[in-house]
């Protein structure tokens, strides 16, 4: 049975120290509290499966976040002021959903590429100019949302995401798409709306013919 600590929108400003005494909690919601800092003591909450730090003012995260090895359901970091993630987050190998949207990332965090259980990744409204080849390690990924970044292309290795169903590229200055994408076996939807810089390759029509919806 889940033990939920719901402190959503409580105008905290900072996290009370007694929160860390709830080491048996499985869900911790601290969203929308104008938080600027998270104590390393968060690493003591070893039973967490869901953590929500969205809608705050965080510029950094503690390395201790990587100690939450049971974090498997959701990690919400959206709508903060983050420009990097601790390398320690690569230990979150059971995590299935990650949201880092609406932050200040200009480089895609490599630690994400080690989260090999990810099923859904939301990274919209940042400043990514490229994805690393190591994105191919996310072999369980079914949805990737990259709307409103600065991507001009994707790595050919994106085609190794054999479980991917949905790809959202809206609002990026895309110039090319790797032809390797034509072989992605389970891709059902590519969203290219608000992309005015791309010459659409002919092979996209082949994908549409076999049932992949292409929005443009």
Q: What is the CATH number of the domain that holds 134?
A: 3.80.10.10
Say which residue the tokens 């039973």 belong to. 47
- pLDDT above 70 as % of the chain: 100
Quick: pLDDT tens for 78-118.
999 999 999 999 999 999 999 999 999 999 999 999 999 99
Quick: pLDDT tens for 38-65.
999 999 999 999 999 999 999 999 999 9
**C-alpha distance from residue 131 to each of 52, 107, 109, 112 (Å):** 25, 8, 9, 11
| First CA to last CA distance, the chain | 45
Both 115 and 163 in a single domain? no
Both 31 and 120 in a single domain? yes
The domain tally of the chain equals 2
Both 54 and 43 in a single domain? yes
Both 2 and 31 in a single domain? yes
Both 39 and 108 in a single domain? yes
| Cα three-residue angle 82-173-152, rounded to 5 degrees | 80
Q: What range defines the domain where residue 33 resides? A: 1-127
């Amino acid at each position: 049975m889940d033990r939920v600590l719901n402190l959503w929108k409580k105008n905290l400003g900072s996290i009370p120290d007694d929160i860390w005494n709830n080491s048996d909690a499985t869900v911790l919601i601290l969203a929308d509290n104008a938080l600027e800092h998270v104590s390393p003591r968060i690493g003591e909450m070893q039973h967490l499966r869901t953590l929500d730090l969205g809608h705050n003012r965080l510029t950094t995260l503690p390395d201790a976040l990587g100690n939450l090895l049971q974090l498997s359901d959701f990690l919400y970091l959206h709508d903060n002021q983050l420009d990097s993630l601790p390398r320690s987050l690569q230990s979150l190998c059971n995590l299935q959903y990650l949201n880092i949207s609406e932050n200040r990332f200009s480089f895609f965090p490599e630690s994400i590429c080690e989260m090999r259980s990810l099923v859904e990744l939301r990274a919209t409204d940042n400043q990514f100019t490229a994805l690393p080849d190591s994105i191919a390690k996310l072999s369980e990924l079914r949805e990737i949302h990259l709307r409103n970044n600065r991507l001009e292309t994707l790595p050919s290795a994106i085609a190794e995401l054999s479980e991917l169903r949905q790809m959202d590229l809206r609002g990026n200055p895309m110039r090319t798409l790797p032809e390797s994408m034509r072989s992605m076996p389970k891709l059902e939807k590519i969203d290219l709306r608000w992309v005015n810089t791309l010459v659409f390759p002919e092979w996209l029509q082949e994908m549409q013919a076999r049932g992949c919806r292409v929005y443009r």
